[in-house]
Structure formats: structure tokens, C-alpha cells
């Protein structure tokens, strides 16, 4: 019986990448909390996860010369602007720092949970392969 990473890790391998992308987006929102006109962005987790699962689908750029690099772009989740939760302060910035910090903490916990799940799966496979 052949082992495949798809069977061992399941959907968790994709959620890890999406959670990483989400953490970067939230951190970017926090970093731009004082930037005038900056609009807070979010990620549709379900849509991003579906796109990550279809990872074999990618976009290739046409090579018009032999010396051009072969470039392949993987689709990622679509950025969306968040609905502001606070009144406009006059500078057009829609970042709610407390909300972003809470979302970042929640995402970090979910990321850690995914890592623990994957660690358990990999440990189980290692034990099975070593005959323990």
C-alpha cells in the first residue's frame, strides 16, 4: 500500500497555508492602522481554502523568448475590504486595531491547532513505519 501526503495530511495541509496568508493580511492591517486612507482587508477563508485545494490549477505566463523564466502563479484567496466597525475618524482609515488584534490572536490559535494536528498525524505515520 502506497502512502500519499494527501491521505496523511488531508485538508490540514491547505488550511496551514491559508492561515499563514490570513495572518499576513491581519498584520498588514495592524501595521497600517495610522495610515490615512488605508482600508482594512480580510480574507474569505472558505474561498481561499477551496482555491488552495485546487492547487493543481495554476496560471502560466506565456514565454515569448527562450531565455524567459517559466513562471507559474498559484491562485490564492481573494482579498476583501472589511465593513468598518467604527465611525470614520476623518482620515478615511477603517482599521479597528482591537478587532485586528483579536482576529490575529484567534488565527494564531487556529494555526497552532492545525500544526498540532499535523504533528500528531506525522508522529503516527512515523510510529507505523518504524513498527512501534
- pTM over 0.85? The answer is no
Full residue range of the structural domain in which residue 64 is found: 6-126
Instruction: Kindly state whether residue 93 falls inside one of the protein's structural domains.
Output: yes
Predicted local confidence at residue 1, as pLDDT = 55
Q: What is the mean pLDDT of residues 63-88?
A: 71
- pLDDT tens for each residue of 12-65: 878 888 888 899 999 999 999 999 999 999 888 888 778 777 764 444 556 677
Overall number of domains in the chain: 1
Rounded distance, CA 36 to CA 92, Å? 6
Of the two residues 59 and 4, the one the predictor is more confident about is: 4
Predicted local confidence at residue 3, as pLDDT = 67
Predicted local confidence at residue 98, as pLDDT = 94
Instruction: Kindly state whether residue 1 falls inside one of the protein's structural domains.
Output: no
DSSP string covering 28-93: HHHHTTTSTT---EEE-HHHHHHHHHTTT--EEPPP-STTS---EE---PPEEEPPPSS---SS--
Instruction: Kindly state whether residue 131 falls inside one of the protein's structural domains.
Output: no
Whether the per-residue pLDDT at 73 is higher than 90: the answer is no
Instruction: Kindly state whether residue 120 falls inside one of the protein's structural domains.
Output: yes
Q: What is the mean pLDDT of residues 103-107?
A: 96
Instruction: Kindly state whether residue 132 falls inside one of the protein's structural domains.
Output: no
Predicted local confidence at residue 122, as pLDDT = 86
Grid coordinates given for 67:
531565455
Amino acid at each position: 500500500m502506497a502512502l500519499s501526503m494527501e491521505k496523511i495530511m488531508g485538508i490540514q495541509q491547505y488550511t496551514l497555508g491559508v492561515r499563514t496568508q490570513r495572518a499576513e493580511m491581519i498584520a498588514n492591517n495592524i501595521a497600517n492602522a495610522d495610515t490615512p486612507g488605508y482600508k482594512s482587508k480580510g480574507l474569505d477563508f472558505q474561498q481561499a481554502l477551496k482555491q488552495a485545494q485546487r492547487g493543481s490549477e495554476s496560471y502560466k505566463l506565456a514565454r515569448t523568448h527562450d531565455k524567459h523564466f517559466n513562471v507559474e502563479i498559484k491562485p490564492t484567496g481573494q482579498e476583501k475590504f472589511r465593513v468598518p466597525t467604527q465611525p470614520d475618524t476623518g482620515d478615511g482609515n477603517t482599521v479597528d486595531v482591537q478587532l485586528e488584534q483579536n482576529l490575529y490572536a484567534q488565527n494564531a490559535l487556529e494555526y497552532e491547532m492545525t500544526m498540532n494536528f499535523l504533528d500528531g498525524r506525522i508522529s503516527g505515520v512515523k510510529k507505523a513505519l518504524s513498527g512501534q
